[in-house]
């Protein structure tokens, strides 16, 4: 699977450019926060399970962070 990312920005001057930059930065921060929060909730739910329940899922307690973030890391 291929993934392509491009960041193209045009120089905006004046008030509208500054306003656009501000809202762009805020939205980037909110996206990062929400992704981190949702993963933290998954980790908390998995930590609340018993070792037997985790074994049914095929993971061990010390593997929970790697399991939750498996889409970000390839080992």
Q: Per residue in 31-42, pLDDT tens?
A: 877 777 788 889
How would residue 8 be classed by pLDDT, with cut points 50, 70 and 90? low
Hey, where are the domains in the chain? 14-68
Has residue 1 got a pLDDT over 60? no
* Contact predicate 47/61, CB 8 Å: yes
pTM above 0.95, yes or no: no
Output the six-digit token pair for 42: 């998954």
């Amino acid at each position: 699977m291929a993934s392509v990312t491009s960041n193209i920005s045009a120089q905006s001057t004046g008030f509208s450019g500054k306003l656009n930059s501000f809202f762009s930065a805020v939205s980037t921060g909110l996206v990062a926060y929400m992704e981190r929060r949702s993963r933290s909730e998954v980790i908390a739910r998995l930590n609340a399970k018993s070792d037997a329940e985790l074994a049914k899922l095929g993971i061990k307690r010390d593997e929970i962070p790697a399991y939750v973030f498996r889409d970000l890391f390839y080992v």
